[in-house]
Amino acid sequence: MKDQLHQLFEKNFGYTPQYEFFAPGRVNLIGEHIDYNGGLVMPCAITMGTWLCVGKTDENVIRFRSLNFEEQIEIPLQNSFSKTGSEWFNYPLGVINELQKAYDWQWGGLDLLYHGNIPIGSGLSSSASIEVVTAFALNQIYDLGIDRLSLVKHCKKVENEFIGVNSGIMDQFAVAFGEKDTAIVLNCDTLKHKLIACNLGDYSLAIINTNKHRTLADSKYNERVQECQKALQCLQQEININNLCELSAEKFALHQHLIEDEILLKRATHVIKENDRVISAAKLLSEGNLNSFGKLMYASHQSLKELYEVSGKELDTVVEFCNGYEHVIGARMTGAGFGGCAIALLKKGFEEDFAKHLSDYYVNKIGYYATIYVEQIGAGPTTLRTI
């Protein structure tokens, strides 16, 4: 990949890149739709990700190219930038705009070539991977002195304000702070986190892409954020809380009568019970109790299906198959839902059998194939080349 990427950079720009960087994608093991509700999540980085080759030039222009998209753009250097349509390059453009506003730095022209092997629109955080690799690269190239947490906050701001998706901080945090064979338990309110060794032992992490494309900005993601805010406002009539996840299930039971709207009640119930599941899951994973951890994964998916209503026929079909396949001990949708991916804890040695039987089951129910990957838990962003 490295040599091919360099050759394509030379083909596009006429010279050898001076820098090369990588940032991973992520999966969330459990704790879905919690990050914007101030609760606990348990993501990990994966070995899929985004490579970025960079060249500095004396020209007053930034050129964006990608091996994954035909769209390309050249933008003159200026004091600020605005989002242009919905093309991929808005993500790195937003990062450049954000860092330019936040830091006093002298810079010139840039040539940027991206390549990712994260399936686009799959819920594995291809956008956060692009954002983080861009911010990480600029921080290294221009010696901006941005610490890792500040980098994460800048990338989240890009997603929220420049792109227009009201997402929480989990994706960027997991991409930036990921460590090999390690899960992150992150408090999305305080940003305190701890690392838990994720020794899967006799099991592998299977990622099943439903191949139903979904785009957060065009989905009901923002609608779910608004519903949770409304549920919070109902509860704030009597109790002083800033986020839904400040409530335990017991305390919520005492005050849930304040939420008269059935839909809002379902959303809040999922959020609070899912937050409790993360607490239990962290303990089980640290103890190496994968079977009980897997049961929590199934419970999480059921809640996302019935209470939060962000699953769908494709994701449900995958989890339904996994639940009946003896060599899987846990499965759930991961990411925002509305399509995208599911994950499963799959007994090692049964990868081919699992892929064959799941493919047959899925195409019979859905009409097209899912794509199955067996992934490793990877590390955060890194510099691969610098001159």
Q: What would the pLDDT profile of 125-160 be if each residue is shown by its tens digit?
A: 899 999 999 999 999 999 999 999 999 999 999 999
Distance, CA of 258 to CA of 37 (rounded, Å) = 18
Supply the DSSP string of 75-115, one letter for each residue: EE--S-----TT-TTHHHHHHHHHHHHHS-----EEEEEEE
On the question of pLDDT at 105 being above 70, the answer is: yes
Closest CA to 319 of 362, 367, 356, 276: 362
Answer with the residue of higher pLDDT: 160 or 215: 160
Closest CA to 78 of 56, 54, 60: 60
Catalytic residue check, 171 = yes
Per-residue model confidence (pLDDT) at position 5 = 87
Contact assessment for residue 295 and residue 57, using Cβ atoms and an 8 Å cutoff? no
Please write the tens of the pLDDT for every residue from 348-373: 999 999 999 999 999 999 999 999 99
Class of the domain covering 2-196+378-386: alpha beta
Distance, CA of 301 to CA of 108 (rounded, Å) = 48
Catalytic hit among 3, 58, 147, 171: 171
Distance, CA of 209 to CA of 45 (rounded, Å) = 17
**pLDDT > 70 in the chain, percent:** 98
Task: Please report which confidence band the pLDDT of residue 217 belongs to, taking 50, 70 and 90 as the band edges.
Answer: very low
Segment 33-50 mean pLDDT: 95
- Residues with Cβ within 8 Å of 361's Cβ and at least 6 positions away in sequence, in order, are 317, 321
Contact assessment for residue 151 and residue 46, using Cβ atoms and an 8 Å cutoff? no
Task: Please report which confidence band the pLDDT of residue 215 belongs to, taking 50, 70 and 90 as the band edges.
Answer: low
Strand pairing class (203-209; 73-76): unpaired
Please write the tens of the pLDDT for every residue from 266-302: 999 999 999 999 999 999 999 999 999 999 999 999 9
- Residues with Cβ within 8 Å of 94's Cβ and at least 6 positions away in sequence, in order, are 81, 83, 131, 158, 159, 162, 163
On the question of pLDDT at 219 being above 70, the answer is: no
